[in-house]
Amino acid sequence: MTIPTIMNQRAGLSHETASTVISYQEGNAAALPEYADYARVVHRIREVLKTKYGADFHLYVSEDNGREDFWELLEEDVQDGCPEVEYVARIFDLIESRAFSYKAEPEAAGYRVYPSQRNNVFAYPQLGVALAHIPVFRDHGIFCDQVLFAENDVALHRFLAHMQRRRQDRDSSRVTVFSDTRHGIDQSQEPITRQVDRDEVIMDESLKTDIFRSIDEFFAEDRGFFREFDIPYKRGILLYGKPGNGKTTLVKAIAGSVRAPAAYWQITEHTSSDSVQEVFESAVKMAPMVLIIEDIDSMPEHVRSFFLNTLDGATSKEGIFLIGTTNYPEKIDPALMNRAGRFDRAYEIALPDTAARARYLKQRGLVRLIGDEALPEAARLTESFSLAQLNELYVSAALQWHYEREVRLEALVRSMRADLNKGRTGGWMKEPADGKVGFIPA
């Protein structure tokens, strides 16, 4: 972690020895009023930090295009009362410095009140770093400038490495969601509310074994397989099939069963070359990790060429296990599949056969309602049903049992098939209309 510091010193770039063209002084505000207003605030913050911690703090700027993990972690630390972070000072007396938000988690639902990031200074004393959102006054409003102070380059390296480790540990228990919006990538962290076990995945066993074996080898700690056989440390698979056959369940089982971060990328009409680049840059920071792109066929056509070039990049996918899903494989660009380093394998997630339907219905709990002896008949009656439709059959059977204390399985299946046929044919009305639509004559 100290290599960049040594390189900077060799190049004569240490800020301790650099000269300054214009220095801030309390008496020169008239010459540069805009600079003086901002510099006065920074100067006061540095004085407060030196008084409190006995060290000089220096300003640093990130050139990482706004994708710094530590601001998000600071927000969580402040809201959760983490002992690593200290509240240092309020910046302006008549600008709000407290905030509140609603926490929707079932175990602790309700409003929380805590110091806001805006208009406050926080510090990680053990790491020698302080952070502040400084209000900046403009003619058309108040904006905030994110500012990082560190005692020196070594302290900054230590802080960044610590925050990166924390981010990786946190990402193992959460899912990162990238959503393309009109204003760029919206990145959020969602807790994994329910783990999907591998045993819950109902599909062809040989196919299931092949997929999970590939996953387990990729995330093995020693990575000896890739070194031994000179295989690039990146992998991509495409899951395709009709809707409701378990692609999402399989993806959740993969994401929840590996000791690595997982991220979902939600492609929209706002997906652009900039958002593609931003997602992959963020993913490389999280690597080794799983990046899931659901409904990859929905990627706008004007972005596809850039997306392919990104996949072909020498380091763009290093440490990334890429999973794409689609309900419409015929819409997939063939170029995704004809070159190594893009999607290496494509797996069809087919409709469940009779044995798979029986396993799913038993796993779901239908035998509690109809008994073990009726399970084979239920599997036979539901030929061509997807897993989603089998789940709906179970829900309908449970409702019927709850109110009537019996399950009329054949009638339920017949009713569901009728609804499915209506969806396929568009014939929603049982009988044609008898008369014309219009006004009744007087």
Q: Which residue has the tokens 């309020």?
A: 90
Which pair of structure tokens corresponds to residue 244?
């409701």
Residues of the chain with pLDDT > 90, as a percent, come to: 52
Q: When comparing pLDDT for 414 and 13, which is higher? A: 414
Work out the average pLDDT over 285-290: 88
- Most confidently predicted of 55-59, 138-142, 217-221: 55-59
- Most confidently predicted of 47-51, 212-216, 223-227, 333-337: 47-51
Average pLDDT, the chain: 86
| Identity of the residue numbered 49 | L
Q: Give pLDDT tens digits for 246-285.
A: 988 999 898 888 888 899 999 999 999 999 999 998 888 8
Task: Domain 174-348: give its CATH architecture.
Answer: 3-Layer(aba) Sandwich (3.40)
Q: Would you state the pLDDT for residue 309?
A: 87
Q: Domain residue spans in the chain?
A: 3-171, 174-348, 354-425
Q: Is 137 exposed, middle or buried (0-12, 13-18, 19+ CB in 10 A)?
A: exposed
300/281 Cα distance (integer angstroms): 20
Q: Would you state the pLDDT for residue 355?
A: 95
Torsion sign across C-alpha atoms 67, 70, 73, 78: negative
Q: Which residue has the tokens 């509310």?
A: 193
- Most confidently predicted of 17-31, 51-65, 85-99: 85-99
Q: Give pLDDT tens digits for 89-105.
A: 999 999 999 999 887 76
Q: Give pLDDT tens digits for 123-160.
A: 999 999 999 999 999 888 899 999 999 999 999 999 99
Q: Does domain 354-425 have CATH number 1.10.8?
A: yes
pLDDT at 210 over 60: yes
Work out the average pLDDT over 13-38: 72
390/357 Cα distance (integer angstroms): 8
* Whether 267 contacts 180, CB under 8 Å: yes
Q: What HEC string does the chain produce?
A: CCHHHHHHHHCCCCCCCCCCCCCCCHHHCCCCHHHHHHHHHHHHHHHHHHHHHCCCCEEECCCCCCCCHHHHHHHHHHHHCCCCCEEEEECCCCCCCEEEEEECCHHHCEEEEEECCECEEEEEHHHCEEEEEEEEEECCEEEEEEEEEECCHHHHHHHHHHHHHHHHHHHCCEEEEEEEECCEEEEEEEECCCCCCHHHCCCCHHHHHHHHHHHHHHCCCCCHHHHHCCCCCCEEEEEECCCCCCHHHHHHHHHHHCCCCEEEEECCCCCCHHHHHHHHHHHHHHCCEEEEECCHHHCCHHHHHHHHHHHHCCCCCCCEEEEEEECCHHHCCHHHCCCCCCCCEEEECCCCCHHHHHHHHHHHCCHHHHCHHHHHHHHHHCCCCCHHHHHHHHHHHHHHHHHHCCCCHHHHHHHHHHHHHHHHHCCCCCCCCCCCCCCCCC
Q: Would you state the pLDDT for residue 25?
A: 74
389/391 Cα distance (integer angstroms): 5
57/159 Cα distance (integer angstroms): 14
Q: When comparing pLDDT for 106 and 37, which is higher? A: 37
Q: Give pLDDT tens digits for 232-252.
A: 888 899 999 999 989 889 998
pLDDT at 7 over 50: no
Q: Give pLDDT tens digits for 377-400.
A: 999 999 999 999 999 999 999 999
Which pair of structure tokens corresponds to residue 401?
């049992």
Which pLDDT band holds residue 6 (cuts at 50, 70, 90)?
very low
Q: When comparing pLDDT for 266 and 25, which is higher? A: 266
Q: Would you state the pLDDT for residue 231?
A: 84
| Identity of the residue numbered 400 | Q
